[in-house]
């Protein structure tokens, strides 16, 4: 069973952003599957970092265009997440076996972070972006 399943209540009301969130969920589910099978998660973590960066840029551009008032705080949350992901990448690069120690914590954090970010932080712009 997948770690996270996208459901209609996750919709932020913008098709493109919903599609991005589904893609992020898909990558996190692949990290979960790799972790459960003791396969390397490094490649998928790299893919997540790339796609998250790409998605955050798109989301923030839409916020900017809509003159969304909480953009600065939201940008900070995105930045914190990317920093955390980077620190995971550095750990995995320096100590490849680290994934056997941190893999399940990484997976749990990602699952919690994404659902909370979409359901709480992203939801606050619902109806405000074009």
Residues forming contacts to Fe ion in the complex (CB under 5 A) are 122
Residue closest to Fe ion (Cβ) = 122
Tell the smallest beta-carbon distance from residue 56 to Fe ion (Å). 6
CB of 61 or CB of 93, closer to Fe ion: 61
CB of 37 or CB of 67, closer to Fe ion: 67
Tell the smallest beta-carbon distance from residue 110 to Fe ion (Å). 14
Tell the smallest beta-carbon distance from residue 75 to Fe ion (Å). 9
* DSSP secondary structure of 17-65: HHHHHHHHHHHHHHHHHHHHTT---HHHHHHHHHHHHHHHHHHHHHHHH
* Distance between first and last Cα of the chain: 34
CB of 54 or CB of 100, closer to Fe ion: 54
Distance CA 60, CA 74 (A): 8
CB of 98 or CB of 111, closer to Fe ion: 111
Tell the smallest beta-carbon distance from residue 73 to Fe ion (Å). 11
Answer yes or no: are the C-beta atoms of 81 and 52 closer than 8 Å: yes
The encoded tokens of residue 122 equal 């992203």
């Amino acid at each position: 069973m997948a770690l996270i399943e996208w459901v209609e209540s996750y919709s932020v009301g913008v098709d493109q952003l919903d599609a991005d969130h589904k893609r992020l969920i898909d990558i996190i589910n692949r990290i979960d599957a790799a972790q459960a099978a003791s396969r390397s998660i490094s490649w998928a973590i790299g893919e997540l970092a790339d796609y998250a960066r790409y998605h955050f840029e798109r989301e923030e551009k839409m916020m900017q265009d809509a003159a969304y008032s909480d953009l600065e705080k939201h940008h900070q949350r995105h930045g914190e997440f990317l920093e955390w992901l980077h620190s995971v990448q550095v750990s995995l690069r320096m100590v490849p076996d680290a994934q056997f120690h941190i893999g399940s914590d990484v997976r749990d954090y990602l699952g919690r972070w994404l659902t909370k970010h979409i359901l709480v932080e992203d939801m606050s712009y619902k109806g405000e972006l074009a």
